[in-house]
Amino acid sequence: MLLVSEVVEHKDRFVAGLVKRGIDNAAELLDNIIALDDKRKSTQAQLDELLSESNKLSKSIGMLMKDGKKEEAEAVKQKTADIKAQSKDLTQQLEDTKNELLNELYQTPNIPNPDVPAGKTEDDNEEIFCVKTLPDLGEDAKPHWDLIKEYDIIDFDLGIKITGAGFPVYKGKGARLQRALVNFFLDEAEKAGYQEIQPPVVVNEASGLGTGQLPDKEGQMYHLSDTDMYLIPTAEVPLTNLYRDVILDEKELPIKNVGFTPCFRKEAGSWGAHVRGLNRLHQFDKVEIVQIEHPDKSFDTLDQMVKHVEGLLKKLDLPYRILKLCAGDLGFTSSITYDFEVYSAGQKRWLEVSSVSNFKNYQANRLKLRYKDADNKKHLLHTLNGSALALPRIMAAILENGQKANGIELPAVLKNYTGFDRID
């Protein structure tokens, strides 16, 4: 969440950032946050003053009784009781104000980094890189939903039978290809210095709040209604929450973790041909990389993470492009995001397979994630994450781009993981 002290000090910059995101009442929103924070500080000061006075009076009661001044002592007792009643009211006011302020901050998105392009929709995203030549397999090229039936490697009907739409069953070489991709991505992350973590796939409300998935404005998370638990939409949530309420030593930075998990998303409102087959699922597998970094180094780290994802796509020999998201297309918690898309020759369209983001101190402020510098002073850290990679659309692109007249050729880099180089 936004740091109120920064909002106060650089209000115009924060207003401009929120307006760039499309929030027209940004000035009013931030004025309300500042007013609530002023009220919080004022109420806290009144409460502190009353408690200090109460402590002094309490100490004087014993002295008055000792000196035989019983009536004066009783009067002081009454005054102390009155102060305690006032203190109780102020404590409740303070709690209510803190909650109201926190709710406003939870509902306010991060501001875009200055170099994030202006714009409202994905059409305004800036293309940073695109391969020069796209594969053209001709009019007979099949989309992956036809290929998986032909080679019997993924079964959507069985998934519907067991669970419902959007929960596919991977079979035979399809299952082995899925596992091969996971292991390949994890091995590449380990080579890049990431420590593998196997986190829970169910998280509590505090974890969802910590990384910004809650409040869930778009209703995308699966909630276990008899508890405060949620199925994770991404491994970002548990991997980053490992460091909630943690103070790191500066020498420990950067923290580099990678995790493979299933991910669960309702994808409410999704429909049409663009979400057919593997293009959009309610459950899918993903390898996620997360870094906790010093504020002065987070943008260098962002560049490294972008290069890591790019390297994976090159090794898979998939045609790709990189987009810098415009302000209106940014995720709620992100300050800057690069999307990777692969070209799907069977569908003749681009498919998003990764987002790499720098949240700066937005998540860290929610998480109370800080570090101590050489002078033992505490500062908020920066958090970053990226898909490296999400599997369904990668698999769709591999199947479609590798299709031949008599089978599907797989990327050479996967042969040591699958034990085969084609599906036929």
Domain ranges of the chain: 4-106, 122-423
Contact indicator for 267, 220 with CB cutoff of 8 Å: yes
Residue ranges of the annotated binding site for L-serine are: 234, 265, 288, 385
Amino acid at 55: N
Domain range 122-423, CATH architecture: 2-Layer Sandwich (3.30)
- Considering only the top CATH level, what class is 4-106? mainly alpha
Is there a common fold for 4-106 and 122-423? no
360: left (phi over 0), alpha (psi -120 to 50) or beta: left
> Tell me, what's the pLDDT at 73?
67
> Tell me, what's the pLDDT at 271?
56
Q: 312-364 pLDDT, tens per residue?
A: 999 999 999 999 999 999 999 999 999 999 999 999 999 999 999 999 999 99
Long-range contacts from 79-88, C-beta under 8 angstroms, 24+ separation: 80/54, 83/50, 83/53, 83/54, 83/57, 84/54, 86/50, 87/47, 87/50, 87/51, 87/54
The mean per-residue pLDDT over the stretch 197-205 comes to 98
Residue ranges of the annotated binding site for ATP are: 265-267, 352-355
Q: Going by C-beta distance under 8 Å and a sequence separation of 6 or more, which residues neighbour residue 8?
A: 34, 37
Q: 380-404 pLDDT, tens per residue?
A: 999 999 999 999 999 999 999 999 9
Percentage of the residues of the chain whose pLDDT score is greater than 70: 96
What confidence category does residue 80 fall into, taking pLDDT thresholds of 50, 70 and 90?
A: confident
SS (H, E, C) 168-184: CEECHHHHHHHHHHHHH
Residue whose entry in the numeric block shows the structure tokens 């998935």: 213
Contact indicator for 105, 309 with CB cutoff of 8 Å: no
Residue ranges of the annotated binding site are: 234, 265-267, 288, 352-355, 385
